[in-house]
Amino acid sequence: MKQAQVLSEKDVKRVLGAIAKRSYSTRDRAMFFLTLLAGMRVGEVAALKVSDVYEDDGRVKDQIVLTKHQTKGNEARVVLLNTQVQEELRVYARTLTRKGDEPLFVSKWGTQMSANSLVQVFGRFYKQAGLSNATSHSGRRSFCTKLCEAGTSIHIVAALAGHKHISTTAVYLTANPNIMRKAVELA
């Protein structure tokens, strides 16, 4: 099975450039960063409600607690948000008119976006960025790969990705030259 492309820093800049030209750029940036920097699946992003991400007073939470109905594995999990994702969500909050249990991300018609519609949105901005091998899973795969390249334990990466078994996480990772070089330098 062909794996989604891992995004380089250059690829991310190209994607952000493509998103900036889109009608719903603030929304699309927030969705992209939730996959890239929080490792969320597009189905989880699509299932988010305003109250999952924002406190009643509008502050961005530092973690998202996903219910079992919002996850692929039908098990609740916590998604930690770094400061960059939190800032993107603060910017996105300025465009929101919805509150509470209403959907966080909506289409141009104001309806909740499905996982399939997010796959299509991601496909369009990756195509506009000239990335023919990127898919809606590229952000998540890049998240896992980047953490491993930085020396993060596969057990921690698995926990952050919501995987029950590290064998699932291992599928995301390839024996790439960066990881191999760092490993040899440890010897």
Quote the CA–CA distance of 132 and 149 in Å, as a whole number.
24
Distance CA 10, CA 142 (A): 13
Specify the pTM.
Answer: 0.92
How many Cβ atoms from other residues are within 10 Å of residue 183's Cβ? 11
Tell me whether residue 58 is in a domain.
Answer: yes
Q: Is residue 127 part of a domain?
A: yes
Sign of the alpha-carbon torsion through 1, 119, 70, 80:
positive
Within a domain: residue 120?
Answer: yes
Q: What is the CATH number of the domain that holds 126?
A: 1.10.443.10
**Which domain does 32 fall in, by range?**
9-139
Classify residue 182: in a domain, yes or no: no
How is residue 186 annotated by DSSP? H
Residue 181 lies in a domain: no
The reported pLDDT for the residue numbered 139 is 96
The residues near 186 (Cβ < 8 Å, ≥ 6 apart) are none
Burial letters for 15-44: b for 16+ Cβ neighbours within 10 Å, e otherwise? bbebbeeeebebbbbbbbbbbbbbbbbbbb
Using 70 as the pLDDT threshold, list the residues of the chain that sit under it: 1, 174-176
User: Which residue type, as a one-letter code, is found at position 46?
Assistant: A
Q: 171 in a domain, yes or no?
A: no
Determine, yes or no, domain membership for 165.
Answer: no
- Give the pLDDT of residue 88: 97
Taking CA atoms, 7 is separated from 96, 116, 131, 132, in Å, by 29, 21, 9, 12
The answer to the question of residue 98 being in a domain is yes
Tokens of 173: 């990772």
- Position 174 scores a pLDDT of 64
Total number of domains in the chain:
1
Residues ≥6 apart with Cβ < 8 Å to 177: none
pLDDT cut 70: percent of the chain above it? 96
